[in-house]
Amino acid sequence: MKVYDADQIRNVALVGHSGAGKTQLASALLFDAGAVNRLGAVDDGTTVTDYDDEEIARKHTLSSSTAFAEWKKTKINVVDTPGMANFFSDACCALRIADAALVVVDAVAGSEVLTEKVWGVAEELGLPCAVVLNRLDRERASLSRSLESLHEALGRTVAPIQLPIGEEKDFRGVVDLVAMQALTFDADGRTVSAGDVPPELADDAAAAREALIELVAEADDALMEQFFESGTLTQEQLEAGLKTATAGRQVFPLVCTSATANIGIQPLLDAVLAYLPSPTQRTVPVVDAEGNPATADPSDAAALVWKTVADPFAGRITMFRVTGGAIGADSTIQNVSRGIGERLGAIALMQGKTQTNVPEIRAGDLGAVAKLKETRTGDTLAPKDAAWRFPPFQFTEPVLSYAIEPKSRGDEEKISTALQRLQEEDPTIRYARDAQTSQLLLSGQGQLHIEVTVAKLKRRFGVEVNLKLPRIPYRETIRASTEAHGRHKKQTGGHGQFGDCRIKVAPLPRGEDFQFVDEIFGGAIPRGFIPAVEKGIQEARTRGYLAGYPMVDFQVTLYDGSFHPVDSNEMSFKMAGRLAFRDAMSRAKPTLLEPVMNVEVYAPSDYAGDLMGDLNGRRGKIGGMETRGSSTSIKAEVPMAEMLTYEQQLTSATGGRGSYHMEFSHYEEVPAHILQKVIADAKAERGDEDDKDS
């Protein structure tokens, strides 16, 4: 396997909205560069980068993967990324180890919501971008209409460096606006013929080239001066200026392709080499332990871990980008993020799922290693004395949770182990047992995300689970003060049982939970039995009174009682405490509290009115709106019970262009018209139809 220096490498991430054809484009790039001997197809499940069974079945990329090819003595590493919002964090990780982004856009749909989101991430990272207008062979595909939407969403500096020859099913080639020549393709797309610009496109090509020259000139003072003097730029000035402007994010070149028909792929490969930077032209930022900017020695062997794959056979596979020096097989390196050393075994290049072992991987290249013990996504591998690390990855917090139950009792212990492995692969999932409802909750970025995780549990680890909407962690509380009496008396042969106590209950402010006050004087209850009374009340309040939910935000004062010198014991006073609690609840006006969430919805401004109306219909209280470009952020407080199915509604209402985040805010009383239904549902779920004096 040939070893490449950093200036012979291009690392590009294929990003964009789902359905734009990123995976098919990766397949065509590999085929035309000779890395594979056939053009794989998404519909057939034969692409290199979508190899997971779930991806093949759904015909969508669910996890980023890498592949590579050589083109004109340069190695091009291609990172194929998911285009669905549920898996957006995975695309963000891929952008962290790329030197440029190829933003793939559907020529029918134009700019879409994920187009704008990945564009924003690339901007934050300072990544140069080129736009690939793909699927130009489809019905209603249009450069002009797509370009209009791109200019509106991304800015006027998106500039075509090609024009399509032919429209829709007649798309057969491109006009290279830099070289001013026509490139047409044969039936399989691998044979390219160069010729003159077709007469019918001559005027459009001349105008588009002039617009490109002006944009390039605007990006450089010297070129602008040259442009004013002569009215144009030389061929050499245009090529050099376009490369510099692209690297500086001042111009974003657009190329035209059909990955399915394999048209425009070789000019795209040429454009990657000509205009996108190599690793030597970009510096990966590092920080010190406090998060301040720092400097790394480029000769030190170092790598950034950007992805972890949980393979049930090969174990944990750690994927990394080497940023300095070289990483060799059978060596030791320090994980400075965790302060531990790691022993590296065989290291490999990844061609989709295929691993090719190599002796070393040099700076600028991508590789993988299996069975590291502690290293996780986002960690820094560097010399032991390194005083720097890469900035930590920021993962999106989960927005949706489901309760999961094993289909087989024997799988209960397997679930946590399998989920832990999957969480290493995908840090955006969470799992934990809810202390209040005792349910095991699986949380993720949306319903599809959770369904895919469950599918992985079954396929990789042989664990099958049922999904249920989680129980709402309601609480019970009281609204009135009262006094109560609890007496437990039982006489049998020998010693009997006797415990007697009197209590006062009173509401506490929200969030105060529970307080127990001892006001026993004169020995009415012996000191040794008072903790038993409290224990009885504690046990009773955790079981609730109305619907089986814990009782909170109230105070119990034990002020009187009586005992029997022979028959009294701890158990008797614990029972007396329970009885006193139930007696008090019958008069203390108990009610239910529900969790209220802080919700922030982000969507195009056109949908703002409908979304606010929907949130109001969910008993939400709108807290404010903020316009950000063409989008609007809506903040509201909404009961959790109304948000369980919100993702589906938001997706439907906005065509997938909306997103939301929520977190717990506080508890509020359940409205009277909902109270009885919640109580009835809770009793039905427990199979408890007893009337609890409610």
412-430 per-position pLDDT tens digit: 788 988 999 999 999 999 9
In the predicted structure, residue 631 carries a pLDDT above the cut 80: no
Q: What is the pLDDT of residue 690?
A: 46
Q: Which residue has the higher pLDDT, 122 or 689?
A: 122
Q: What is the pLDDT of residue 654?
A: 87
Q: Which residue has the tokens 């006094």?
A: 483
In the predicted structure, residue 90 carries a pLDDT above the cut 90: yes
The answer to which of 304-318, 355-369, 497-511, 548-562 has the lowest mean pLDDT is 304-318
Q: What is the pLDDT of residue 629?
A: 61
In the predicted structure, residue 560 carries a pLDDT above the cut 70: yes
Among 105-109, 442-446, 469-473, 652-656, the range with the most confident prediction by mean pLDDT is: 105-109
Q: Where are the beta strands (DSSP E) in 325-410?
A: 326-328, 332-335, 340-343, 347-351, 354-358, 360-362, 366-370, 380-382, 400-406
In the predicted structure, residue 688 carries a pLDDT above the cut 50: no
Residues 6+ apart with CB under 8 A from 672: none
Q: Stretch 13-34: mean pLDDT, rounded?
A: 96
The answer to which of 351-365, 434-448, 532-546, 613-627 has the lowest mean pLDDT is 434-448
Q: What is the pLDDT of residue 196?
A: 96
Q: Which of 533, 545, 530 is nearest to 588 (CA)?
A: 545
Q: Which residue has the higher pLDDT, 85 or 580?
A: 580
| Separation between Cα atoms, residue 81 and residue 244, nearest integer Å | 26
Phi, psi of 547 (to 5 degrees): -140, 15
| Confidence grade of residue 436 (pLDDT, cut at 50, 70, 90) | low
Phi, psi of 163 (to 5 degrees): -120, 145
Q: Is the dihedral of CA 285, 289, 292, 293 positive or negative?
A: negative
Phi, psi of 285 (to 5 degrees): -70, 145
In the predicted structure, residue 351 carries a pLDDT above the cut 50: yes
DSSP symbol at 551: B
| Confidence grade of residue 693 (pLDDT, cut at 50, 70, 90) | very low
- Average pLDDT for the chain: 92
Determine the Cα angle at 598 with ends 594 and 599, to 5°. 115
In residues, how long is the chain?
Answer: 694
Residues 6+ apart with CB under 8 A from 202: none
| Separation between Cα atoms, residue 275 and residue 278, nearest integer Å | 10
Instruction: Return the bridge partners of 133, or none.
Output: 105, 256
| Confidence grade of residue 439 (pLDDT, cut at 50, 70, 90) | confident
In the predicted structure, residue 130 carries a pLDDT above the cut 80: yes
| Separation between Cα atoms, residue 394 and residue 693, nearest integer Å | 50
Q: Stretch 134-156: mean pLDDT, rounded?
A: 94
The domains located in the chain, with CATH, are 6-281 (3.40.50.300), 286-382 (2.40.30.10), 400-468 (3.30.70.870), 476-588 (3.30.230.10), 593-677 (3.30.70.240)
Terminal-to-terminal C-alpha distance of the chain: 76
Q: Which residue has the tokens 């779930």?
A: 54
| Confidence grade of residue 689 (pLDDT, cut at 50, 70, 90) | very low
Share of the chain above pLDDT 70, in %: 98
Phi, psi of 38 (to 5 degrees): -150, 155
Q: Stretch 241-269: mean pLDDT, rounded?
A: 97
667-681 pLDDT per residue, tens:
999 999 999 999 998
DSSP H stretches of helix in 64-177: 88-96, 113-125, 143-154
Asked whether the beta carbons of 381 and 305 are under 8 A apart, the reply is: yes
Asked whether the beta carbons of 446 and 647 are under 8 A apart, the reply is: yes
Q: Which residue has the tokens 């309601």?
A: 474
Helix (H, G, I), strand (E, B) or coil at 304: strand
166-216 pLDDT per residue, tens:
999 999 999 999 999 999 999 888 899 999 999 999 999 999 999 999 999
